[in-house]
Amino acid sequence: MSLQQLVGTAPGYNQTVTLKGKDGKNYRRQVAMQHKIYRCVNCHKDTYRLIREEARELESSVGGLTPILLPESPSETIHQYPISTPTGHHSVNKDVKDATIEAEKCLLAKAFNACGVMTRRAIHSLCTDKGAKGKDLCEQLKYLKDNNLITPDLWEWAEELRIVGRSGAHPEWEEVSSEDAEYALRFLQEIIRYVYINPAERVARKLKETKKKKKKP
């Protein structure tokens, strides 16, 4: 991961979060939402992030009547542009890439059902590209696993994508949540990395090592 430095901030706003006290009760507190710009020290490109600061409040010094509030909402990036993604790698099939990019856009737009559908489309395109056999996506994914094109763990993830995509496409199923959509996209990106990017990088590494050997006297 490349190093980034903070180069700009802009006025943000407050958000209410829940903190749990040592007494077991919940307390509502305001936390700051900050707009920040980070610059990569290597490529000098900027990334925008909306960051929710850590929610924390200490025990009152007056009589010790206020319980210490435990942080339930640590500092985290709520939104980022552009998002970090392996989709742009040259080795990724175009149909897989296009569907994944659309899924990423859907997630940013909070269109979670649509994100689920597009992750399923992307994994279906991957099956087609790899010549997976079967009458439906379920059988095609099993073909990838049985032929060692994906690992058993990745097959389980791919099955999650299939189910999330079904939920997003059919109103009789439960709607896709923000968490489901985020995990589906993350699983898809890991599958893409395993199927396309890792093999391409291994080949590139071998070619590089071969050229080094040829240069030796």
pLDDT at residue number 143: 95
Please state at what angle helix 137-146 crosses helix 112-129, rounded to 10 degrees: 50
What is the token pair recorded at 64?
Answer: 């010790």
Collapsed DSSP state (helix, strand, coil) of residue 34 = strand
CB 126 within 8 A of CB 93: yes
Could you give the C-alpha distances from 47 to 33, 44, 75, 88, in angstroms and in order?
16, 10, 17, 17
- Phi and psi angles of residue 35, each rounded to the nearest 5 degrees, phi first: -95, 125
pLDDT at residue number 212: 61
Give pTM, 2 decimals. Answer: 0.61
pLDDT at residue number 140: 94
**Domain spans of the chain, in order of start:** 1-82, 86-217
Collapsed DSSP state (helix, strand, coil) of residue 35 = strand
CB 93 within 8 A of CB 129: yes
Give the C-alpha separation, 23 to 130, whole Å. 57
Amino acid at 38: Y
CB 166 within 8 A of CB 58: no
Instruction: Write out the CATH class of domain 86-217.
Output: mainly alpha
CB 137 within 8 A of CB 162: yes
Alpha carbons within 13 angstroms on the beta-carbon side of residue 125 total: 18
Q: How far apart are the first and last CA of the chain?
A: 36
pLDDT at residue number 57: 55
pLDDT at residue number 67: 47
Give the C-alpha separation, 88 to 93, whole Å. 10
Mean pLDDT by runs of 10 across the 217 residues of the chain is 75 78 74 84 78 65 49 65 68 92 87 94 95 94 94 91 91 90 89 90 76 60
Q: Is residue 177 within a helix (H) or strand (E), and if so which, with residue range?
A: none
- Phi and psi angles of residue 80, each rounded to the nearest 5 degrees, phi first: -145, 140
Give the C-alpha separation, 137 to 124, whole Å. 6
What is the token pair recorded at 46?
Answer: 């900027």
Give the C-alpha separation, 36 to 76, whole Å. 12
